[in-house]
Amino acid sequence: MLSGLTLLQQRHSVPAPQLGAPAPDEASLRTLLEAAVRVPDHGKLVPFRLIRLQGEAKLQFGEKLVALSLAKHPDISDAKLDKDRRRYLFAPLVIVVVASIDTHAKVPVIEQQLSAGCVAHNLLLGAHSLGFGAQWLTGWAAYDRDAAAILGLADNEQVIGFVHIGTPQADIADRERPALDNLLSTWTA
């Protein structure tokens, strides 16, 4: 198990097609999810929730997206439909991170969205620390209100990401990271 800065320095995404079984068992998953929701949360609003896609549910969700794609774009290619159908099948587990925005709160919407984004990032870190691979993806279904309805989202909710979790099936080289010197500046008055 990794910890501290080593975890942050070594974490990288594993492409969903490279994620296979096993997924975390129920006890490990519960521990992972409990850790993932320990995020900054201005106002203690808990502006997020999680949806598990696993087993047959992943295929059913993909089929519903195919039907939605066909309804919206009757001339859509078979290749794009197949991509929609198979998108959630690779990793044995997909956690949908949902932002549940309290529009009446004094906390700005962006802070609530960022809190939910931290949950998705914690899932990536936690999965890596447990020896699993993960990838945070969005795609059109994350931004489509009809796809949100398929997931049972309320009007004040939006998908922050689909976090695919499983066991890496191959070694994945880390990508080149940006140089800190190009990112950091010091403000002076």
Amino acid at 75: D
Long-range CB contacts (< 8 A, 24+ apart) of 170-178?
A: 170/18, 172/12, 172/13, 172/14, 172/15, 172/18, 172/133, 174/12, 175/12
22 phi/psi in degrees, rounded to 5: -90, 160
The answer to whether the annotation marks 31 as part of a ligand binding site is no
| 53 labelled ligand-binding | no
186 is in an annotated binding site: no
Nearest to 136 by CA among 91, 104, 103: 91
Is 38 among the annotated ligand-binding positions? yes
138 annotated as a binding-site residue: yes
Q: CA separation (Å) from 34 to 29, 72, 121, 170?
A: 8, 38, 13, 28
19: which 2 tokens? 């994620």
Q: Is residue 77 part of an annotated ligand binding site?
A: no
- Are 92 and 127 in contact by the 8 Å Cβ rule? The answer is no
Q: Dig out the tokens for 185 from the structure.
A: 């500046």
Annotated binding residues for FMN, written as ranges, equal 11-13, 38, 42, 136-138
Annotated binding residues, written as ranges, equal 11-13, 38, 42, 136-138
